[in-house]
Amino acid sequence: MIPHNPLHIHKLVLYCLVASCLSLGTIFIQTTASAQTNNKEIAPKVGDSAPNFSLQDFKGNKFTLSKLTKTKGVLLWFTNLCAGCQSQIPTVLSLKAEYEKKGVEVAAVSILGKDRKTVETVLKENKVSFRFLYDPNGTASKRYSGEYVEGTCPLKNIFVIEKGGKIVFANHLSGVQMNELKKLLDKLISDVMQKIDFIPIVVIE
């Protein structure tokens, strides 16, 4: 019989414990990474159908994107109302004034979580008349950026959605030339008008 060496047995047990811990650690990391990946959504791109969502605006009125895109186009702006975003408010107001009656709804989504006070103060100071949506849990923000980080503007924070619900433009507002955006909106309106079915008038002499 080979005599047992207590020191050898102790080392063997210690090795087994370390190996088990490393194995469990690897499984934990893989599981966590998988959970984080599954928790993310795939951000839509131009040509995709616009993800639907329902939110209330800061006046308490319900807003459902899919209902709106049945009848008109939508310009959607996700903003944390930082100084840069606030400097864009006059531009967005001018877009609303020019295109609202032409069949394009302008709406903004707050990405400040449950902070209502900051948003309401900015809306009042800037006399904002376009719809501003309250997104306390980042539901809409996550669907359009893939993930939601409260207070942080996504890389693409402005979307133009045509009637029918397809995204035709996605960018960051600060990097967009207004003449480019207006040209796109004009084309959007023109395309909608061309799709309208006219009843032919037949004149019988």
- What is the reported pLDDT for 83? 94
- What is the reported pLDDT for 192? 65
- Evaluate the CA torsion angle 71, 79, 45, 175 in order and state its sign: positive
Q: For residue 26, is it within any domain?
A: no
Residues 127 and 86: beta-carbon distance below 8 Å = no
Q: For residue 47, is it within any domain?
A: no
**Residue range of the domain that includes 113:** 54-194
Q: For residue 21, is it within any domain?
A: no
Q: For residue 112, is it within any domain?
A: yes
Average pLDDT over residues 45-56: 97
* Three-class secondary structure of residue 73 per DSSP: strand
Helix/strand/coil (H/E/C) assignment for every residue in 96-122? HHHHHHHCEEEEEEECCCCCHHHHHHH
The CATH number assigned to the domain holding 111 equals 3.40.30.10
Q: For residue 150, is it within any domain?
A: yes
Q: What percent of the chain has a predicted confidence (pLDDT) above 90?
A: 63
Q: For residue 45, is it within any domain?
A: no
Number of domains making up the chain: 1
58-111 per-position pLDDT tens digit = 999 999 999 999 999 999 999 999 999 999 999 999 999 999 999 999 999 999
98-152 per-position pLDDT tens digit = 999 999 999 999 999 999 999 999 999 999 999 999 999 999 999 999 999 999 9
Q: For residue 152, is it within any domain?
A: yes
Which has the higher per-residue pLDDT, 56 or 30?
A: 56
- What is the reported pLDDT for 197? 45
DSSP for 151-165, written as a single string: T---S--EEEE-TTS
CA 86 from centroid of its chain's CA atoms: 19
pTM of this prediction? Answer: 0.75
Q: For residue 29, is it within any domain?
A: no
